[in-house]
Amino acid sequence: MHIPEQLVIRPPSEAKSLLVRVVRGCHWNRCNFCGIYDLFGVPHSQRSLQEVLLDIDALSQRYGDIFSTAFLGDADPLNLDAGFLVAVLQHLRKTFPRLKRVTAYGRASSLAKKSLEELTAIREAGLDRVHVGLESGSDRVLKLQRKGTSHLQLVDAGKKAVAAGMELSYYFLLGLGGRELWEEHVSESAKVFNEVKPHFIRVRRLFIHPMSRLSEKVGSGEFREQTPEGTVIELRRLIAGLDAEGVTFACDHANNYLPVFGRLNAEKGRMLDIIDSFLALPERQRIAHYESIPSVI
Ligand code: SF4
């Protein structure tokens, strides 16, 4: 009997999704703050089309057609050949006809390498949404963290994904510029969001895993970690700098200090009020709150 492979991680919004592994690990695997696949001992390797199709068949036998959403992993399926992805998506949609949404992680550099025609073919085959780790819109922060992309590429790749008809989720990482670059980190990211207007801006707080390369930089003094209050101020500055009509803003991860959600631009004022009310609390209450929030990947 064929046993389908399992993913290492998925976005929180895919908690109820059918999970399909189309590639193992991350082909880039260089971001200083990450190391997730090293942590789980998963080196990058390609899967054959035959293996992936057999997984889909086995998942169908195991669960039946009960899912309304599906997620393709691991790190960057958008880096795969367009024809491969189209074949996987067509088989997935045929095998699970009740799927209403199929999504995947994708690096901006992978979206940039694909033509608009290729991205459109992938979307037409059934990929509705791509989750992209923007992390920062600042070139200096992106370089410091070895993200392998740039402000310009994040704008161009994001616009291309939207033009291909895909929903775009951009992930922003509070604290990634440390104490030195935080203002540029926030302002340059807001510029990308305002220009691209992704469907979603999803916020996470930097968690420095002791095994990550970034942890070594903290130890050597090369990177000065943002304070908890500093990340809340970053969040406020980011929202204040946004002018992105129709975008959904979501701090939808357990490690955020403030679960701020809203639709831009209408709910910008309400989101800022939530942060201001928190910052107006007595210091001991704010510190107690910071200490109560888990630091998790
Ligand atoms: S953050 Fe994403 S692209 Fe960077 S190493 Fe981790 S999985 Fe790969």
**Tens of pLDDT, residues 48-97:** 999 999 999 999 999 999 999 999 999 999 999 999 999 999 999 999 99
Residue nearest to ligand 1 atom 1, measured at CA: 34
Contact indicator for 277, 235 with CB cutoff of 8 Å = no
Of the pLDDT bands very low, low, confident and very high (cuts 50, 70, 90), residue 297 is low
Mean of pLDDT values over 275-279: 98
pLDDT for 260 beyond 70: yes
The CA distance from 46 to 39, in Å, is: 19
Residue nearest to ligand 1 atom 2, measured at CA: 75
* d(CA 147, ligand 1 centre) in Å: 8
What pLDDT sits at residue 89? Answer: 98
Residue nearest to ligand 1 atom 5, measured at CA: 29
Of the pLDDT bands very low, low, confident and very high (cuts 50, 70, 90), residue 271 is very high
Q: Which two structure tokens, joined as six digits, stand for 136?
A: 């920062």
What pLDDT sits at residue 294? Answer: 83
Atom of ligand 1 nearest to the CA of 28: 8
Cis bond upstream, residue 65 (ω within 30): no
What's the Cα-to-Cα distance from 46 to each of 110, 112, 184, 268, rounded to whole Å?
A: 15, 20, 37, 43
Atom of ligand 1 nearest to the CA of 26: 8
| Dihedral-angle region of residue 101 (phi above 0 means left; psi in -120 to 50 means alpha; beta otherwise) | beta
Give the residue extent of every domain in the chain. Answer: 12-292
* d(CA 31, ligand 1 centre) in Å: 6
* d(CA 214, ligand 1 centre) in Å: 13
What pLDDT sits at residue 94? Answer: 98
* d(CA 32, ligand 1 centre) in Å: 9
What pLDDT sits at residue 1? Answer: 86
175: phi then psi, degrees, rounded to nearest 5: 90, -5
Contact indicator for 229, 286 with CB cutoff of 8 Å = yes
The CA distance from 147 to 159, in Å, is: 19
Cis bond upstream, residue 265 (ω within 30): yes
Q: Which two structure tokens, joined as six digits, stand for 105?
A: 């992680």
Average pLDDT, the chain: 97
What pLDDT sits at residue 35? Answer: 86
Atom of ligand 1 nearest to the CA of 29: 5
Architecture of 12-292 per CATH? Answer: Alpha-Beta Barrel (3.20)
Which segment of 53-57, 118-122, 147-151, 292-296 scores lowest on mean pLDDT?
292-296
* d(CA 77, ligand 1 centre) in Å: 12
Atom of ligand 1 nearest to the CA of 107: 3
**Residues 161-220: tens digit of each pLDDT:** 999 999 999 999 999 999 999 999 999 999 999 999 999 999 999 999 888 999 999 999
Strand partners, 70: 18, 102
Give residues (CB < 6 A) around ligand 1.
26, 28-31, 34, 36, 75, 107, 133
- Does the CA dihedral 70-159-111-247 come out positive or negative? negative
Residues 6+ apart with CB under 8 A from 131: 11, 103, 104, 105, 106, 169, 171, 202
Residues 6+ apart with CB under 8 A from 163: 116, 119
Residue nearest to ligand 1 atom 4, measured at CA: 31
Looking at residue 105, the DSSP 8-state letter turns out to be E
Atom of ligand 1 nearest to the CA of 33: 1
What pLDDT sits at residue 124? Answer: 98
What pLDDT sits at residue 137? Answer: 98
What pLDDT sits at residue 279? Answer: 98
* d(CA 153, ligand 1 centre) in Å: 16
* d(CA 233, ligand 1 centre) in Å: 26
pTM, two decimals, is 0.95
Of the pLDDT bands very low, low, confident and very high (cuts 50, 70, 90), residue 28 is very high
Helices (H), 116-267: 116-125, 139-144, 151-163, 182-196, 213-220, 228-240
Q: Probe ligand 1: pick from 34, 153, 212, 297, max atoms within 8 Å of CB?
A: 34
Residue nearest to ligand 1 atom 6, measured at CA: 34
The CA distance from 146 to 101, in Å, is: 32
Consecutive H or E run containing 203: strand 200-205
Residue nearest to ligand 1 atom 8, measured at CA: 29
